Each structure stands twice: as C-alpha cells, then as structure tokens.
Structure 1
Amino acid sequence: MGAGHPSTPADRSVTGIWPLIGRTEELRLINAAVTGANGYGGIVIAGSAGVGKSRLAQESIHLIRSGRWVSRWVRATASARALPLGAFAEWTGDIAGAPMLVVRNVISHLTAAAPGTKVVIGVDDAHLLDDLSAFVVLQLVQRRLAKVVVTIRTGEPCPDAVNALWKERYLQRLELQPLSLVETETLLREVLGGSVESELAARMWKLTRGNVLYLRHVLERELTDGRIRERSGLWRWAGHPVVSETLAELIEQQIGRLPAPIGDVVDVVSLSEPLETTTLCRVTDREAAEEAEKRGLIVISDSEGTLSARLAHPLYGEVRRARWGPLRLQRLSGEIAVALTATPEVDSRDTVRRAALWLNSDLVANPDLYSRAAAAAMTLSDFPLAERLANESIAAGAGIELIMIRAHALAVLNRAEEAEEVLAAAPSTPALPNADLSRLVTLRAIILLFPLGRPQESANVVTTALHDLEPSKLQNLAPIRCLHLAMSAQPGPAITTMASVDRTILPGLPAMMATWGLIIALGDCGRVAEAVRIAEAGYKLAAHAPEVTYQTIALAEFHVVTLLLAGYVHEAMGAAERTFRECSDLHGRMHSMSTAIMGMAVLGTGRAARATKYLREGLADEYEESDSTGYWYRYSLVLIHALALSGNGPAATEVLQAATSRRHPSFTFVESERLLAAAWVAAAEGAISTAIDTARQAADFAAQHDQFQREVVCLDTATRFGDPTTAERLQVLADWVEGPRATAAARHASALATRDPVGLSDASDRFEEMGDLLAAMDAAAHAATVYRRRGCNGSALTATARAQRLAEACGGADTPALREAQQPSPLTGRQREVITLAAQGLSNKQIAEKMTLSVRTVEGHLHRAAQRTGVSGRGDLGAIITGDQPPPDRGHELE
C-alpha cells in the first residue's frame, strides 16, 4: 500500500481488441460443429445484444482458418435488409438477371476456393437478413457447399429460412450466456493489466450482468472520468457510475421508444426494486406493466405467492434516470412512498426503503419514519442515509437517540470532527437517563479514541463523567475505561476494571466496548478460553442489539487475533471466513475490514502471497495519508509481515516507513507487532542480527506490559531467526498461557539451543498440526541445518524436503531458516549475513554500521569467507548466497 501514487486516466487505454475470456467450451463446441465432428453443418450462436456473439464467431473462424480453410464474413444490417441480397452485395455482381441466377452467382462466388480447401462463412446478425439472403444461407447449408457460423439476437424475429437452420437440425444452436462474475473479474484483470479489487469486479458485473459490450462502455467512461484508477498495484472503483451518451443511445435503441405509461413502469421499478406488483399497479397502469414485462423491460418473480417486479437489466434504470430532472424524481418517489403506506412494514430494509423514498420526494417531512429508519440504516451499514435521516429528525426536534445515531454515522463516514461537535453540544448532564448518558459518553470517547486519535482526551471525557455521576451509574462507564486500558497495553488493569461489573445489564454500546476490551486484554494475557466465551457472547449481543451490529466487525478482528496469537489457526480461519461471508454483499468499511481480517488469518496459516492479496484489497480504501481511525495503521503491520515473507523486501520497507510515520496514538497494544514487522523487514534484507535484536525488543515490550501471549510470538520469531537463547523464557510462558503455540515454540527453542534435530522435527510437526505452516517450515529447516552440520546427509535431505514441501504449501516463502537450509555452506551465520549485505551493494563501512561492528571485523569476515569457499571478490561471494551470477561490472576486491 505504501506511498504509491494513483494512476491517471491516461495511464490505461481499453481501446483495441479485448481478450476472449470464458469461452473455451463454446469455442470447442463451434469447432466440432464446423469441422463436422458432431454431424452438423455449422452452428447458430444466439444471445442478447452485446453478449459477445460476433467476437466469438470471428474468433472461432480465425482458429479454424489455421487449417486448409478459406473464410468469408457477411454482416447483415437493418439498412441492407431493404434490398434483395443486400447482405451479399459484395458477391452479387449484376443483379438485373433472374433471382435464381443471381442466387446461384452469389453462392458460386462465396464458395470459390482452391482444390482441397474448405469454405467457412460467418453470417453476423442473421435475424436482419432479407428473405433472399436468408435463402442463400439455407442453400449453402442444405447443399453442404460450405460450413456456416451464424449469429442471431435472442428475442428478435428471424426469416423463416434462418429459423429452419436449427429447427431442421442443419446447424447446432448455442445459447451464448453473459460472462459470470469470475469471468468478468478475469477480463478486467487482463484489460487493465493488473490486480482488480473484488468489489470493483462485483459492482461491474452487477451493473452490466456480464454483457461485454456494456462492460466496455462503462469501463471506458469510468477510466476517462477517473473513478476507476490504480493505486499500489490494485484497480479500484470509487463513486457512482455515469452512463456515457454512446451507451445510453445503444440501450435506448435496444429497448425502443417507450410510450409514457410504459416508461413510467420502468422508472418506478428502477427507483424501488424489487417492488410488489400490487404496489406497482397502484402507481402505474396495469396494462402498461404487462406490456413492459412482455417487452422484456421488467421481470416478474414469485416468492411465496408474492409477485415482485425487477428491471430486466440494471442499465435500463441508469439510462432512464440520467434523463430525469429533479421534479420527476421527487414526484415518483413520493407516489411510491404513499403507495407503500397501504402495506405493513416487513423488516428494517422495508423501513429504510420507505424512508429513503419519502426523503427524496416532494412530500411533507415524516420525522417518525425518519427516526425509525435512521436506526435501521445503521444496522444495514447504510451510513450516508442514516446520517441524512438522523439530521432531518433532529431538525424536527428529535432527542439524544438521533443525535448519537448521527454522530456515529458521521464518524464512520470520516467526518469525525463534525461528530465530536455534535456530541460536545449534546445534553450531558446527570439528569439524562443512566443508559443514555453512559452511551453518550461512551460514543464520544470512542470517536476521540479511534477516528480522532486523541486517547488522552478520550480518557479525560470518561474521567470527568465518572466524577459527575452518582455511584449507581458508574458501572456503565467501566467498559470504555476497560477498552482504554486494553488498547494502552495494560491488560491486567483492563480485566480488573470489569471484575465487579454485571455485563448482562449494560446497554448495547457499553456492553460491546466491554467485549472489545476484555477480548484484547484476555487474549494478550493468554486467557484464551475466557476471551472466546466473551467473543461468543458478543456475537449474540450484536444479533439482538441493532445499535452495535456494525461493531461486530471489530469484535471479529479481536477474536481472530486472540486465536492466532494462541495458535488456534484453524479456528481463526473459520471465524475470519464467517465474517468475510457475512460482509460479502456490503460495501465500504465493513467489506474492507472483513477482507483485511481474512488476510490476517490467511497469513496465520503461512500463505503470505495469498494474504498479501487480501490485505492490499482490504487496505485499498484506507490510504495512509488520510488514515485517522487507525485501521490502515493496524493492518499495514500485517501487510509488512506478509510482504517480507513473500520476498518483497522493498515493498515491505516502503510500507514500514509509511506506518512508522503514521503510528496511531491509540494503538499502543500492537507496539510489539510493529517491532516484529520491522524485524521481518530486516530479515528479508538479510540483516539477521538486527532482526533478532528487534524481535527481542518486541518481546521485552510485551513482557513489560504483561502481554504474555504476544511475548510468545515475539520470542518464537527470534527463535525462527536463529536466536538460541529464548528457550528458558518460552518454557515459563508455556506454563502461563493457553493454546498450542507456546508449547510448540518452547519445544522449537529448546531443540535449537541444544542442536537437537529430532526435537526440531517434533516442533515442526506441532506447528503444522496447529495450522501454522510457515513456523513448521522454519523448524524443519533448522532440523535440516543441524543434520547437515552433523554430517547426517540423508536426514538432512529429508528435513530439507519437508521444509520445501511446506514452503510450496505456503505458496512460496522466504525466511532466514529456509535460506540456510537450502544452501549448505561452510560459512558461519555471521559470514553469510555480511556477504548478503555486501551483495546488496553496501560498502564495508555501511555493513559495519548496520551490524554494529568495526570495519576491520567486516573485512575479516569477508576474507575468511573467501578462503573457505575458494572464491574471490564480493560479487562471487554474493553469488554463493543469492544463487545469482555475479555482475560482470563488479570488481573482485573484498574491500
């Protein structure tokens, strides 16, 4: 993510021929039909306009021509249909003769070919052929004079001779379907030349329904206008699409000129689909609705006896709405809203839909509906609408409940300063009901803590409220105090704060804050079972308390982190996958966070490259320059780790620099994680001593703050870098914390300290069983190195093979342990480190500064390494480590 700059619209052109994606099976069928493998004389490709019939036909003929074939291409048009044989004008010659003689002449010209050569003829848009041209095509097929590939538009009337082509089974018929979502994403990647955010692909598919022609027009316009652009290797789509005039004209041509009543039907459905037909017919003419369905403009579906209408294609609505003025939008919205009052509200989505229509209409304001819908919109993560509805309600005199909803929505929408102003001006005296006052203070403290990044001011707000409240009200503010302590890396006091609080009677928001704080604190301390029980209770709370439904995503993050720290990797993946599924249909922050959580869980399995994809996508909305919530900072640490493990050291360094400069003041509890990210970057650069020292610093920070589970991870990382001094402390921690990671890490450290290859192999098995393939790989690599140094070459090869198998299962990995195991060498670890840095172009002085050595010591390491390996020159020594050829322009000096 780093400091990459977005591309400009001019950086990418989508003109020219696009690749043919998702049509492998269709090409096989066409080839079989044309070559006679299935007994047909060719094929009819049917499909809707823009689905790709013509391109598929042309590509199939091009592939067939690679043999002894000659091709012809005929394109029927509406204008040529007015002339007999208009489509074959190129081959008619003199048309003054008898029609049959002219037909014979056309056929003769079309089928003329060298001896031994076959003819294949493509006829595009055959539904537009005049009758005589259609007769020519039928003659070609019936008399087997040529193979034919015909395209027709589904739903359009065809000449009888064209219908006979497949009805009489002369030609096979293929119904060409639009591209699937997966195929659409693949096509976008190919056209844009880079990775595509899954939400971009999903939105594009939802809008175009896989119609390639529509997709092309939409993509061209969005690129030109800069709403689709690339940043840090990922193409994203921000904002609402604008339909180009060319695409609008194309769609209007396809749907035809609509009488006003039918246009009203399409417009009403576009504003509120799916719309029950009873409501539709209250607002529009029933006969017009029937005609709209007959024309394929709307689709009627039956769900448990209830008929509902949807647009046949989303772009029909986009094109129609682009032609409206504001008065038409207001009038239609109001008519639908009034019609909906005749039916009861079914659920929160129904409430939100009615309120949105009313809000956009010319009707008198409806504060009661707005108030109910604002809360429902928050539950559905529609924060812009929630803010608008709450603001309208407040203007009409609504109280503290709507003030909090508006402030919460503003904070989520990156308008935290406005949110703080709203809450600071709200009534906050002890006269407020206990539940309302505690929620108000809690929400204000959260906004100060996260999006505003002012943890001390957040704590002061709570402290002031605690002084002003009577004792009976104090426990409702304990949860936010607990969260403050947990996030400031004070897990013990955080847990103590909630010890005497009955969480079951807390209001929704304070109860969720208690859940967050306790999961963080208990997880850091190593009390995993308690943390998991509280997480499960938190999910139940969110299911029954609409005001905290949105907060479930952070709950899921803390839950997954706790499981990963303890070594419950499979369980962490399960929790992450569940969250990802639940947020798959959402947009914005919820979708981004669920994607980042998936990346974190995938990294926990060791699959760094796959994790990087999720993390880059999850962070795409949260660039470091505008990050205030701490979300980018928090997940950038995970991304750094993934990039370093993938062997992408430069990218990891870039993100680390950005993260260091953008450290969020409220996220002290992940400080050890930041240090570990720096350690992995050092390891990726080959600076192993620095990596070990930094990992030990991370462990010291965790130990000083009683974050024992995090200390385990830090010490285990140092072990994996080759530090043999971690065993004693890890053994102590294994007795203190829960989960399989601590015992596996202690086993690894002990075996490394005693050079016990059997113990190292056992540790590898333990890590693999718990799901951390990368840690298992490092332990196996250490075993291979120990075996090799003992001269046990067979066992060394076996352990190396295991490490390589695990690396492949991870999708490729780059760690110090694996590098050492894969390159048997007479060099010491320190010599390898010096050579690695020298191979990167560092001078002896720079190496000495980086490793805190004297220049003379560095020179000594290089000379002894040259003596042991029998090579001379820095380039040759570097090649031993990297496996690359030494650069020809490098000198042979060791200085």
Structure 2
Amino acid sequence: MLHGSKHCGVMIVGPAGVGKTALARQVLSQAATTGDRTSWFVGTESARSLPLGAFTGAISQDMCDPLPSVRRLIDSFVAQQHQRRSMIGVDDAHLLDELSAHVLHQLAQARGVRLVVTARAGGAAPDAVTALWKDGLLARLDLEPLSAEATRAFIEQTLGGPVDSRSARRFWKLTGGNALYLQQVLKDQIDGQRLRQVAGVWMWDGDLAVSQSITDMVGSNLDRLPAGPAMVVDLLSQCEPLDVDVLCDLVSREDLEAAETLRVVTVERDGSRLQVRLAHPLYGELRRATAGEMHLSGLRGRLVERLSSNPDDDLRATVRRALLMLGSDLKPDPQLYLDAARAAMTLLDPHAADRFAAAADECGAYEAAPMRAMALLLLGRGEQTETVLAQISSEGRPDAHRWATLRAANLTWMLGRPRDAAVILEQLAAEPESESDRAARLAIQAGVDAVLGRCEAARDNARAAIASGLLPDYHAMIAAVALTMALGALGEVDDLNEVATDAIDRAINSFESSQTRFWYGGVYARACRLTGRIDECVRNAKQLADSARDLPGLAQANLAFLLGHVELVRGAIPEAVGLLHEALAGVETHGGSTGLRPASCFGLAEAHGKLGQAEEAAQALAQARQWVPDDYVYMQTNLSLATGWAMAAGGSLTEAIAAVRAAATEARERHQPTHELACLQAATQWGDTSGAARAAELAAELRLPLADAVARHAAALAANDGAGLLDASSKYQAIGDRVTAADAAAQAAVAFSGSGQGKRGLYAAAVARQLATDCGGICTPALRHPAGQPLTQRQREIVEFVVAGLSNKEIAKRLVMSVRSVEGHLYRACQRVGASSREELAAIVRGGFRG
C-alpha cells in the first residue's frame, strides 16, 4: 500500500456506518496474505480514560511507568518492522486517549511501520490524531455514504440477482447510504420475507420488517429520550416534514429545541418557512413499528385537526391529511376522501386513491363508486373494474353514457375483449347522444379499432373525437393512444410529435389520466420505432422518466417497459433485458390485467434472441403466447417478430424467416405498411433475399429513411453487393438502429470476402465487430456467419442448430434428412472454417464477428 508515496499509511475518515472499519480490515487482511505482520487496535469510550488504553494488549508487564512504556512500545513496533514488514490498524482513532494518540503520531513520524487508521468525521479527536493527516504523515481518504448506484450494486451482490429500481431507491433513502444500516435492513427484509423474487427480479413492495438488531443499532437513543422530545419524534413519524409553527401548536418549543439538540430532528429553512424533519428516516420507521396503535391513532387525529385549520398547500398535503384521517380516532370525512382520491391519482398513486374511494364508499358518498372504478381502472384490475362499472351502469345515473364508455375501455384494454366492448358502443350509438357523448364514444371506438387492426378507422375516429374539444381526460388519452398506434402503423408521421406532446401535457395535471402517460409513452415509442424515429423515441422516454420519480405499482412497471423498449430499439441489449424483466416483475407483482405483460415478453424474446440466448428467448416467447388475447390483432406482428428472434436464436432460421414473411403478408392485408416493413427487415437480417422488390415498393410508398434503409439492405443482399450492404449499415447507424447496422456490416464482410475483396471484407468485419460490442455483445445469425469462410445455405442452417446445442439426430429430424447427410454437411463446414471438431466449429461460428 502506498508504495513510493511520501505517506506511511492512510487515515480513513467518514461518518458512522459508512464502512471505514470494513475497509481498514480488508487492507490488513490483504497485507497478511502477502506475509506481513499485522496488528489491530481499537479506540473505545471505556478505554479512553486509561493511559495507553487502546494498546493495553501490546504492553508487557515490565512496562509499568507510562512514559517509558511509550518509548518501549514504539520501539517494539519498529523492531517488528526490522524482522518483516508490518502493518498496524487503529480503528476509531478519535476515541484514543492522549498517550495512545501520541504513540500513533510517533509511529507515523518514525516511519517504521505502515498505518491504517480510521476516524469519525466531524467528531472531536486528540490533536495528535488530527495532525496525522494535517501534517501529511498519513494520506486522508474521506469515505462517503453509498450512492444510489452503489447501494443497488451492494443489494444485488448480496441477493445474487437483480433488484428493481424502486426497491433499490427505497433501501437507499431509508438508510441514507449508510453501509452498516443497509446491511442490517437488507438482512431484516430477507429474514422477514419482505423481499421476494418475481420474474427473476427481487422486489420489496411491503412494509418494513424491524429486527431488534436494527432497533439497537439505530433506535437505542430513541428509547432514552425525555417525554417531550419523544413526542416530537412520534408526531414526525406520522407526518413529515412539519412547519415549526404547526409542530409548536402540538408540543412546546422547548421540547422541539431539545429534540434538535439531541440530534433526533433537523430544522431546515425553506424560503420563509422553518420545517422539521426526523434526523434519519429509520427513526420514523422504528417508531411506527414499536409504538402502540392507540397512541399513534390519537396523534394522527391531533395532526388532522391542526392541519385542517389551514388550506392545503398542494395535492400532497390533501393526500397526507386523508391518510392521517384513515388511521385516526376521528369521525370519517367522505369529502376529504374523495378529494384525496383525485389528488392521489394525479400524483400517480391509484393504490392510495382506491383506499380513499373505498373509505368514502363506506360512508355512503354518491361519487365514491365512480371514483373507485376510475382508480381500479388505472390499477389495471380489469375484473374488479368491470364489476363496479356494471353496477354503476345499472343504476340509471344521468352520466350513465360516460361510465358505459369507460366500461368498454376496460373490456378492451384490461380484459382483452374488444369485441364485447364494440357491442356496448353499438348500443350507445343507437340511442340519442349529445355532442360530448358522441365524442367520448368515438374515442373509445378508436381504441377498439386500433386493437382490432383497423388502422384507418382508428385514425379517423380518434381525429374526430379529439377535434371536438369535448373529451374528458381519460377519453382523450385513449383517443391519443389509438391515433398514435394508427399513425405509426400507417407510417404517417407529420403530426405524430404534436399528438404526443398534447397527450402528455394534458395527462400530467389530470387525475384521470396522469398515470397513463407512461403507457402512452410505450405506445409512442413503438410508433417511433416502426417509422425509424429512434432519436425522438429516446428523447421522449427521457422526458417522461424525468416527469416523475419513485413511481408506485403499475406506473413504475410501465416506465420500466418504456425505458427497456428504448434500450432495445437503440441497441443497448443487456440494459434492455434488465429493464424489461423489471417491467414484467412489476406487472406480475401488482396483478394488472393489461397488455404490458405480453409486451414485456415480446421485448425479452427479441433481446435474448439478439444475444443468442435461445433458452431464455423461448421461455419469454412461451409466456407471451400465454398472455396475448385472441382478439388482440395489433399484437400479432410483435408476436411474430418475437417468435422469429426466438427461433433464430435456436438455430431455426428457415422457420424464423417463414414466420415473419407470413406476418408481413398479414400486415399487408391489414394495410399496416410499417408492420410489414419491420417483418421484411428482420427476414433480411436473417439472410432472406426474397423481400427486395416489396421493400422497394414500401420505400416509395412510405418515404421514410427507415424504409429506404431496408430497401437498400434487401436489394444489396439479393445482389451479394458488399458496398451496398455497407451503405445500408451506414443508413441504419444514422437512424440509430445499431443491431441491424451490425448485421448489415457482417453480411457486407461475407459478400466482400466471397468476391475476393479481402481488405474491404476485413474493414466491414471490423465495423460489424465494433457495433456488436457497442450493443453489449450481441450474437445474431448474421454475426455468427464467419467472414472469409462462407458456408452454403444448408451448411449454415445446420451449423446454426449445432450452435443451439442440437444433436445430429435432432438436426436430421428437424430438416427431414438422414443423420449421415447432416454429418457430411458438418464435415464440409468444418473444412471451410478450419475446425477440427463439431465443438470447435460451434465455437468459431459463435464467435463470428465478435472475436
């Protein structure tokens, strides 16, 4: 350590619990493994009053007089250094007595040993200890609390698997990045079975499990608080922050000042206001877990009465008053519950909104059932929503038309029954309607049309509904979703940005549609991908991610899907896998009956397929097929592409190409030109040359850079034109599609090599290799096809099965040929690539352009 440095060691400084001791012990442990002599001493409060108290274990019986003991103690350590290199660790040096501190300082000056010292930041320490770093004897290392990223890394290392981002942030906020607290809180949640693994992702979605260990570690000083400061802590444990004026109406100012002096609360200035918070988030958790419910219920009631005397500052204030009311000993306030339900939905918390609406319903509030229906709809609880809406629709309410349209929306999007929804809408159309009623019906009808793949009808009905200017917020979002799906499928991009901006801006401040902005973001990202507007896709996703933090439930799952889809589109494949697994875990945890589950599985099948992970891709595809409703026509292209990528990863290239070619034909029949284009692009990536003519027609029809790139790609592949393939790769890179760019470059390398243009082939291979690396190590069929050693189509097909792990007998069965024929093709393939065995052939092909 510190070889060649002017320092003889290091002083690790930081607040309690950040890992100073662990780091120092690790340094000594590593020194011991190299044969160094190591010694460990600890400063403690109990030994602070004793001369040389920290070094008691190193003092022999004949060292009785303190001053001679100091000299002889120092000499003994220096003598050890002469025998072999030694390192001394001193923990909590700020607690050393003066003589122990003097010994430590003298050892540093003598430079006879190497030192690793820890000290508490901000605490009083002997001058001799402070001088260690001030005089340059030891290098000072300031150890800060763990960052959010480091906290997540620690959790994932401990759990041996990924943790969802919201759970990781919760751990970080709760522990303040304190490594000691984090370790114990994480252990408590594991022991208390609060953490569970869903879809391969660890999630913590319940309350906090509190052990005696964390109570002793963090809350021991809470148990010793006088009654007044303890009351301050208890009030803040139920509601923080609180203004000083509010708090001082409930406790005395002297008690608040005492709590601040005891460092259990902090007082901060926010403009002209003074606000009080608990000094550590765990204080509140501990009090909520250990205090009596009767006591806390009374405190909540007192807080509600005091907070109700002033108007709420914002929506959050309304929500927190209602939450306090729910757990208090006061008489329920149904109007407060209804106001809070609207506020909670605007703040992206439909779980809280459902609680408030249910509480208002228990009080007999007339608007409670519709409010609860809206909350359940946003939670994705389709069956419960259908039950409540069916009841409302039968009550003869004056606004029955609106609730009937919402029922149709729920049937379409949450329950996967668009044809049942169409029946309801037909019945509404047959009755007299106001202009606003008609607009609302057209908005939901547009959604039904979009789901059933009727793109022109979806576009026209959505435009008419939006143009009326009469839509409620939720209906406006459904119309925007339908219009965006239709425009993306039709390749009509002129006003796509405007539709997205209007939809998101309106949703942000709406209690009905605030949460749906993330769902809409995923729909818009898909439209951007279909039309080759990847930069816009990335920009919009970032804007939505920045619009809210720490999202609950399905909102977080939708955001994770959006971000995962964007990473998939731009070619950050491993990152996409992590986010899409998080989205799938979120929807499985919260039980939403939405299209988010199959959409996440589509993305995972494609991502794993691009990484060459056949088994994982097949598993994701199987889940997707399980959750796609029969009438979800709009998902069929995605399902076919996911099927193709899973097949390609498993070596079944012929079947993969056939699947997407059939999907292209179906998309053409439905007049979904960009869906057809996506299928032709995938087939071309897998080596299919039959789509060149149709790709050229689509390029002329759509007039999109993406369509031009696909047409160039398909034509060049059909002509075995290396330069054309390299040009197509550049076009894909300009759009932002790095995966297809890598495939086109790999195909260019093969074409160049086959035509004797070795240098150009090497260049194209280098381009493919770099792009593959940038995409996280993708392993697509094109990248597995070695340049310079081209295989025949049949050989390549058989080798793909070898890479996927199939035996010769299994390959023969798949291709309806004899085992001997398979062996012959493999023998000739080995000769072409210079492999001496089946295994070596697979390794060479698997490496491809990544080697």
Same fold (TM over 0.5): yes
Question: Secondary structure of the residue that 2:39 maps to in structure 1?
Answer: strand
1:845 Cα shift?
6.4
Partners in 2 of 1:566 and 1:455 — Cα distance? 26
2:491: which partner in 1?
A: 526
Matched, 1:482 2:446: yes
Please give the per-residue CA displacement for 1:658-681, whole angstroms capped at 9, x wherever unaligned. Answer: 222232345320111101111111
After superposition, residues 876-895 of structure 1 pair within 5 angstroms as: 876=837, 879-880=840-841, 882-883=843-844
CA 1:720–1:67: 2 relative to 1, 3 Å: closer
1:388-399 → structure 2 map (5 Å cutoff): 388-399=355-366
Q: 1:767 aligns with which of 722, 727, 732?
A: 732
1:359 aligns with 2:326: yes
Count of equivalent residues? 844
- Structure-to-structure mapping, 1:535-574, within 5 angstroms: 535-574=500-539
- Partner residue of 1:787? 752
1:124 equivalent to 2:91? Answer yes
Aligned-residue Cα RMSD (Å) equals: 3.1
**Equivalent residue, structure 1, for 2:781:** 816
Q: Distance in 2 between matches of 1:510 and 1:546?
A: 13
Take 2:397 and 2:721, find their aligned partners in 1: how far apart are those partners? 69
1:155–1:491 distance in 2 versus 1, CA, 3 Å: same
Distance 1:103 1:759 in 2: 82
- What are the superposed Cα offsets for residues 304-333 of structure 1, whole Å, 9 maximum, x if unpaired? 222212222111211222221111221121
Q: Which amino acid aligns with 2:446?
A: C
1:9: which partner in 2?
A: none
Q: Distance in 1 between matches of 2:796 and 2:365?
A: 70
* Partner of residue 379, structure 1: 346
CA gap 1:160/1:265 in 2 versus in 1, 3 angstroms:
farther
Q: Could you tell me how far 1:798 is from its partner in structure 2? A: 2.4
Structure 1 residue 474: Cα displacement = 2.5
Say which SS state the counterpart of residue 236 (structure 1) adopts. strand
Question: In 2, distance between residues paired with 1:111 and 1:224?
Answer: 47
Given candidates 369, 375, 387, the residue that maps to 1:403 is 369
Aligned to 1:697: 662
Alignment equivalent of 2:794, drawn from 830, 850, 862: 830
For the 8 Å contact 2:484–2:496, the answer to whether it is kept is yes
Q: What code does the residue aligned with 1:675 have?
A: S
Deviation of 1:793 (Å): 2.3
Is residue 5 of structure 2 the alignment partner of residue 37 of structure 1?
yes
Change (3 A) 1:872 1:260: closer
User: Contact 2:785 / 2:845 at 8 angstroms: preserved in 1?
Assistant: no
Native 8 Å contact 1:411 1:447 kept in 2:
yes
2:195 partner amino acid: I
Letter aligned with residue 510 of structure 2: A
Among 754, 759, 765, the residue aligned to 1:800: 765
Residue 555 of structure 1 deviates from its aligned partner by 1.3
Q: Give the structure 2 partner of residue 663 of structure 1.
A: 628
Separation of aligned partners in 2, 1:239 and 1:751 = 56
For residues 69 and 873 of structure 1, the distance between their equivalents in structure 2, rounded to whole angstroms, comes to: 51
Mapping of residues 98-117 of structure 1, within 5 Å:
98-104=65-71, 106-113=73-80, 115=82, 117=84
Counterpart of 1:642, as a letter, is: A
**Who is 1:888 aligned against?**
none
Please list, as runs of the form range in 1=range in 2, the aligned pairs for 1:466-477 lying within 5 A after superposition. 466-470=429-433, 472=435, 473-477=437-441
Matched, 1:89 2:50: no
Spell out, residue by residue over 1:560-595, the C-alpha distance to the aligned partner (whole angstroms, 9 max, x if none): 111111111111111122222334422322122112
What is aligned with 1:8? none
Q: Which runs of 5+ in 1 are unaligned?
A: 1-30, 886-895
Q: Distance in 2 between matches of 1:843 and 1:93?
A: 73
On the 8 A contact 1:439/1:507 being kept in 2, the answer is no
Change (3 A) 1:782 1:120: closer
- Whether contact under 8 Å (1:298, 1:309) holds in the other structure is yes
Match of 2:391 among 420, 425, 441: 425
Greater CA deviation, 768-777 or 602-611? 602-611
Q: Which moved more, 1:840-849 or 1:578-587?
A: 840-849
| Pair 1:242–1:500, CA change in 2 (3 A) | closer
Q: Does 1:863 align with 2:829?
A: no
Go from structure 1 to structure 2 and tell me whether the alpha carbon gap of 1:729 and 1:840 turns closer, same or farther (over 3 Å shift). Answer: closer
AA partner of residue 616 (structure 1): H
Aligned to 1:51: 18
Structure 1 residue 529, shift from structure 2 partner? 2.1
CA 1:776–1:339: 2 relative to 1, 3 Å: same
What is the CA distance between 1:157 and its match in structure 2? 5.0
User: Residues 146-185 of structure 1: matches in 2 within 5 Å?
Assistant: 148-154=115-121, 157-158=124-125, 174-185=141-152
Q: Distance in 2 between matches of 1:780 and 1:659?
A: 31
Residue equivalent to 2:849: none
What TM-score does the superposition give when structure 1 sets the normalisation length? 0.87
The answer to whether the 8 Å contact 1:120/1:148 transfers is: yes
Decide whether the 8 Å contact of 1:526 with 1:736 is kept in 2. no
Q: Which moved more, 1:245-254 or 1:462-471?
A: 462-471
Partner of 1:244: 211
Q: Report deviation, 1:230.
A: 3.7
Structure-2 separation of matches of 1:838 and 1:133:
69
Among residues 607, 610, 616, which one is paired with 1:645 in the alignment? Answer: 610
8 Å CA contact retained: 1:265, 1:284: yes
**How has the CA–CA distance of structure 1 residues 304 and 868 changed in structure 2, closer, same or farther, with 3 Å as cutoff?**
closer
Q: For residue 321 of structure 2, what is the amino acid of its counterpart?
A: R
Q: Distance in 2 between matches of 1:684 and 1:170?
A: 60
Whole-angstrom CA distance in 2 between matches of 1:407 and 1:647: 44
Whether the 8 Å CA contact 2:746–2:782 is kept in 1: the answer is: yes
Pair 1:195-2:158 in alignment: no
Q: Given residue 674 of structure 1, which amino acid in structure 2 is its aligned partner?
A: L
Tell me the amino acid that sits aligned with residue 394 of structure 1: D
Q: For 1:558-707, list aligned pairs within 5 A.
A: 558-623=523-588, 628-665=593-630, 667-707=632-672
**Correspondence list, 1:836-851, <5 A:** 836-837=800-801, 842=806, 846-847=810-811, 849-851=813-815
Asked if the contact 1:270/1:310 (under 8 Å) is kept, the reply is no
Once residues 280 and 685 of structure 1 are traced to their aligned partners in structure 2, the CA distance between those partners, rounded to angstroms, is: 65
Quick check: 872-881 or 336-345, which moved more?
872-881
CA contact (8 A) 1:70 1:117 kept: yes
- Residue 771 of structure 1: CA displacement? 0.8
Q: 1:879 to 1:624 in 2, by over 3 A?
A: farther
- The match for 1:7 is none
Partner of 1:497: 461
Report Cα offsets for 1:527-574 as digits up to 9, x if no partner. 122333222221222134332111111111111111111111111111
What is the CA–CA distance in structure 2 between the aligned matches of 1:202 and 1:147, rounded to whole Å?
39
Post-superposition shift, 1:155? Answer: 5.4
